[in-house]
Structure 1
Amino acid sequence: TGVLALAWSVAQLGWILGPIVLLIFSSITYYTSILLADCYRFPEPINGTRNPTYMAAVKSYLGPKNLLVCGILQYTSLWGSMVSYTITSATSMREIVRSDCIHKHETTGCNFSGNSSMVMFGAISILLSQIPNLEELTWLSVMAAVMSFGYSSISLGLSIAKWISQGDIRGSVMGVMSRKDISISSASKTWRIFQALGNIAFAYTYAEVLIEIQDTLKSPPSENVTMKKANFNGIAITSIFYITIGCIGYAAFGNNAPGNILTGFNEPFWLVDIANAFIIIHLVGAYQVFAQPIIAFFEDNIVSKWAENTFFQIVWTIRVPFTKSRSLSIMPAKIILRSAFIIFTTLVSMLFPFFNEILGLIGAASFWPLTVYFPIKMHLSQRKIARGAPRWFLLHGLSLVCLVVCFAALIGSFVGIIDGLRHAKPFHMEY
């Protein structure tokens, strides 16, 4: 969903900084992905022992203490993504209703609360969370990829059409300097720039899944060689698309670029509805993929702690016709635990329904540690690069710069959330 915020991010940075920042983030992501590809095996990249997950690689190279920190960060990132998916899906549901309302030429009464949409998304997520091994289904990944390509392409196509119909390139070198014809302060401008950096970081935060992808590869050639080629092709294509949609979206909307680019279009309403439906379908599946590792972690810990409690041993068997097993086993304890977790996530989403601010917060909190810090630390450990060596200084310098940028983005996103809460009533937000 990070692609939806790129036009807004470029608008905050302007025509010079916007494309440059996108290129810098893509370059850093590509470089650290190369380092990470070599860490799939331990202690050396060709004949070492396989690490099937990102956390397994961290444990092998950096030890249990770093594993604990990595686990906290990774699960927090997953949960934060669940919050953002709830907000984004609710926005898309609301946009479908709103665009249909506007299409009927109803100029008033087309503003709707997102709370009901979030409750609906949460209810769907609770039902799907009870399906065993849903996140492992191959078709789920294929569907997510198709839906993501679909709504991204529609967003780009609508932006191109709007830009061509206007006949000019909008925006400015310095980016947004006013809001609703009122000049914004230098402090507000700075916070929005920082928030934009977090949004871009969110779009490029996927390092934690690269090891899992590499684990599916067969050799020869060695997995790291194949993965490096895949990283180059994937990040190159992604970066070209990101820069294209970010810049064309900015050219079309100028400094009025919406936080979620699809919310800027009303016509053709049927195409906008299709794009928003694609987003909902994509995020319904992605939500489960991100939720299941967290759910499994908490369930395993709770069940092991109260193993003697009979409540956690109750199993209901339900007959399900037209299936291979003819039955489905359900544990009441899991129903309660999973429902409670998703309800809590939905409540947090309703309390902080700020699309760009939440994306910026997640991107800022996860990009530096998961995309930069741990891959660099594992590389230094693997290659046994001496402390104080030129390469040691260069890699730590890169890590430090990314830390400063992400910290600034984190502060900017926090400021944006606080500012949003000042102008809205919690749980009663129309947006």
Structure 2
Amino acid sequence: MAEPNPRPNTEAELNSWLPITASRKAKWWYSAFHCVTAMVGAGVLGLPLVLARLGWIPGILAILVAWLVTWYTVWLLIQLHESETGKRFDRFTELGQHAFGEYLGFWLVMPQQLIVQVGSNIVYMVTGGKSLQKCLALITPKADLRNTYYILIFAAVQLVLSQSPNFNSLKIVSLLAAVMSISYSFIATGASLWKGFTGHHVVNYGFRSTTTINIIFDIFSSLGVLSFAFAGHSVALEIQATIPSTHTKPSKNPMTKGVTVAYLIVALCYFPVAISGYWAFGNEVEDDVLLSLEHPKWLISAANFMVFIHVIGSYQVFGMPIFDKIESALVTKWHFNPGRPLRLVARSAYVVFTAFMALILPFFGGLLGFFGGLAFSSTSYIIPCAVWLKTQKPKAWSIHWILCWTSLLIGFTIMTVAPIGGAHEIIVSWKSYKLFQ
């Protein structure tokens, strides 16, 4: 093993080692599949449940509004990545500090971003384990193991991949994950349509819950699931940081191109999956639509394996900014020397932590709603607009002023109600759950 590097003396030296800023050679299409990997994941599988809880018209409108508004807010972040002086805000926290001051900006943004990224990684642990379990169960009954073991298999893969040095070193993993996400979305759509045309069961499109209070909780939770489905904002600046930038060729141009492609792919995946899944199963659809599908077995098994491969990449895309924070703190605050031993211990400890949380809280739908409302609404709807209003000061009642305040209103609404619905769902699921089952 190589000897640890000496502790860096300047910020530039530290940035040349940290995973977010170590390499700035990315192309625009890197950002496209990084963004697809970050967004089209666990969230898309829960969208039929959103329609099941909101109904046809409100559900489709909610997904459409979320798609349009979050596309706008990620565009804001892209424009804000570089200041007028040319300084790059490579991390979400740096942009917050630029807008609201070093101390306040850091503590306004860092906890929200951390909850999004850690929450995503916990959900991806659960999703990866359940998808692998479903994949093998459809092929052979001998695969009837506890879900715990499959989560541990997923964690073992992450222990290896977590040693990737920087974002650009993940480009092949991320590209494969993006291809998998598109593939299983199309399979989910096709299999749902097949189920709908050939099925002989009665489909109920009314509310699943029978009491008013439970219907309200379900609606609240579905808003969180919807927020989770548009989660790329928390890593957008970090992805853009890997793209080279000059005064004549700023990084916002290739990043905008990449995000545009990503959002068009998102639309091609999200709307068909949501509509076909709800149409085929009605209010009986699972919180992961692939778990509702059984036939043809080989195809559904393949789709679940694609989900497993995809969330392997998604975990790394959301994990890399966390590794960056951990390693930066260990070097600057606790004076560790940067090097392989530091990364091996720090990143492995984080993977073990998220695996442990997934083992004790394997509630996919509840976690989507809880984390989606608690922090995703902030990073996707609130923070980009708040920073834009603070730094750009758009004229009252101008287009940007109206759009920013509309997004803020949506974000605060989701942040208020979605965690309540998600927590309620987790509590209900916990009552019938056996630890490490």
TM-score (norm 1): 0.81
Deviations 1:363-391 (A, max 9, x none): 212333212222112221233247xx445
In structure 2, the CA distance between the partners of 1:398 and 1:336, relative to structure 1 (3 Å rule), is: closer
Provide the residue aligned with 2:365 in structure 1: 356
Aligned pair 1:74/2:113, yes or no? yes
Which amino acid in structure 1 is aligned with residue 363 of structure 2? F
Q: Distance in 2 between matches of 1:399 and 1:148?
A: 30
2:173 counterpart (140, 144, 152): 140
Identity %: 29
Provide the residue aligned with 2:153 in structure 1: 120
Q: What secondary structure is seen at the aligned counterpart in 2 of 1:208?
A: helix
Provide the residue aligned with 2:62 in structure 1: 21
In structure 2, the CA distance between the partners of 1:93 and 1:230, relative to structure 1 (3 Å rule), is: closer
Provide the residue aligned with 1:365 in structure 2: 374
Aligned pair 1:176/2:204, yes or no? no
Instruction: Give the superposition deviation at 1:15.
Output: 1.3
In structure 2, the CA distance between the partners of 1:282 and 1:351, relative to structure 1 (3 Å rule), is: same
Structure 2 unmatched ranges of 5 or more: 1-40
Report if aligned partners of 1:169, 1:251 keep a CA contact under 8 Å in 2. Answer: no
Q: What secondary structure is seen at the aligned counterpart in 2 of 1:41?
A: coil
2:99 counterpart (61, 81, 97): 61
Aligned pair 1:158/2:184, yes or no? no
Which amino acid in structure 2 is aligned with residue 340 of structure 1? A
Larger radius of gyration: 1
Q: Distance in 2 between matches of 1:337 and 1:35?
A: 33
Q: Distance in 1 between matches of 2:135 and 2:208?
A: 31
Report if aligned partners of 1:90, 1:114 keep a CA contact under 8 Å in 2. Answer: yes
2:416 counterpart (373, 383, 407): 407
In structure 2, the CA distance between the partners of 1:27 and 1:292, relative to structure 1 (3 Å rule), is: closer
In structure 2, the CA distance between the partners of 1:420 and 1:169, relative to structure 1 (3 Å rule), is: closer
Aligned pair 1:52/2:90, yes or no? yes
Provide the residue aligned with 2:305 in structure 1: 277
Matches within 5 A, 1:6-405: 6-43=47-84, 48-64=86-102, 65-101=104-140, 112-133=145-166, 136-166=169-199, 170-172=203-205, 175-178=206-209, 184-215=210-241, 216=243, 224=252, 231-232=259-260, 234-307=262-335, 330-331=340-341, 334-385=343-394, 389-390=396-397, 395-396=404-405, 398-405=407-414
In structure 2, the CA distance between the partners of 1:52 and 1:272, relative to structure 1 (3 Å rule), is: same
Q: Distance in 1 between matches of 2:290 and 2:333?
A: 46
Deviations 1:129-162 (A, max 9, x none): 2343476332122111111111111111111211
Report if aligned partners of 2:81, 2:237 keep a CA contact under 8 Å in 1. Answer: yes
Q: What secondary structure is seen at the aligned counterpart in 2 of 1:38?
A: helix
Instruction: Give the superposition deviation at 1:169.
Output: 9.4
Q: Distance in 1 between matches of 2:216 and 2:420?
A: 11
Report if aligned partners of 2:378, 2:411 keep a CA contact under 8 Å in 1. Answer: no
Which amino acid in structure 1 is aligned with residue 364 of structure 2? F
Q: Distance in 2 between matches of 1:12 and 1:240?
A: 22
Which amino acid in structure 1 is aligned with residue 228 of structure 2? F
How large is the RMSD of aligned CA atoms in angstroms? 2.9
Instruction: Give the superposition deviation at 1:49.
Output: 3.5
Structure 1 unmatched ranges of 5 or more: 103-108, 179-183, 316-328
Q: Distance in 1 between matches of 2:436 and 2:96?
A: 40
Instruction: Give the superposition deviation at 1:76.
Output: 2.0
Which amino acid in structure 2 is aligned with residue 267 of structure 1? H
In structure 2, the CA distance between the partners of 1:69 and 1:135, relative to structure 1 (3 Å rule), is: farther
Which amino acid in structure 2 is aligned with residue 83 of structure 1? I
In structure 2, the CA distance between the partners of 1:154 and 1:404, relative to structure 1 (3 Å rule), is: same
Aligned pair 1:5/2:46, yes or no? yes
Which amino acid in structure 2 is aligned with residue 192 of structure 1? D
Q: Distance in 1 between matches of 2:376 and 2:296?
A: 36
Q: Which moved more, 1:110-119 or 1:269-278?
A: 110-119
Q: Which moved more, 1:399-408 or 1:6-15?
A: 399-408
Which amino acid in structure 2 is aligned with residue 176 of structure 1? F
Which amino acid in structure 2 is aligned with residue 366 of structure 1? A
Report if aligned partners of 2:208, 2:284 keep a CA contact under 8 Å in 1. Answer: no
Report if aligned partners of 1:42, 1:61 keep a CA contact under 8 Å in 2. Answer: no
